[in-house]
Amino acid sequence: MSMKVTKHEYQHLVKETMPSSRVLRNVLAAFVTGGLICALAQVFFMGLEGLGVDEETAYMLTTVIMIFLGALLTGLNIYDKIGKFGGAGASIPVTGFSNSIVSPAMEYKREGYVMGVGARMFVIAGPVLVYGIFASVVAGLIYYIWTQVM
């Protein structure tokens, strides 16, 4: 007695009966989480400007503060819960980027600071860095050529 189902039929059955993601809930949670993180950054930015910091430095300092907060909350075992609730809303802002670097660094500490922390730190953020930097180089080149021609 063998199963009376082909690969194709089975994959179709799985696709049809699979529980689906709660899209509306996830989208709303991402909107609220991402929005709150950005609003918090805006508060820091305005505070810095209020202290007389010039605009460009205030932007930079705000980013530094948010990266620090992301790392701190990761170390305190809180950011994973924010990520679980907010999904992309928690991973897209710079705090999520910080989480993606600090979390493997924590996990691989037992394997030592060179082959553990050093080698594994960018295991999640690596692709973002590679393609982010590559894209900025391409954009820079296009901008340069554009300004030379015009």
Which stretches of the chain bind another protein, using CB under 8 A? 1-5, 7, 10-11, 13-14, 17-22, 26, 74-75, 77, 79-84, 86-87, 90-91, 96, 99-100, 102-104, 106-108, 110, 124
Q: CA–CA separation, 37 vs 42, rounded Å?
A: 9
Q: Are 93 and 66 in contact (CB under 8 A)?
A: yes
CB of residue 130 to another protein, shortest distance in Å: 16
User: Which of 62/95 has CB closer to another protein?
Assistant: 95
User: Which of 62/99 has CB closer to another protein?
Assistant: 99
User: Which of 7/52 has CB closer to another protein?
Assistant: 7
CB of residue 148 to another protein, shortest distance in Å: 42
CB of residue 98 to another protein, shortest distance in Å: 11
Q: CA–CA separation, 82 vs 140, rounded Å?
A: 35
User: Which of 49/120 has CB closer to another protein?
Assistant: 120
Q: CB pairs under 8 A, 24+ apart, for 108-111?
A: none
User: What is the DSSP code string of 27-84?
Assistant: HHHHHHHHHHHHHHHHHHHHHHHHTT--HHHHHHHHHHHHHHHHHHHHHTT-HHHHHH
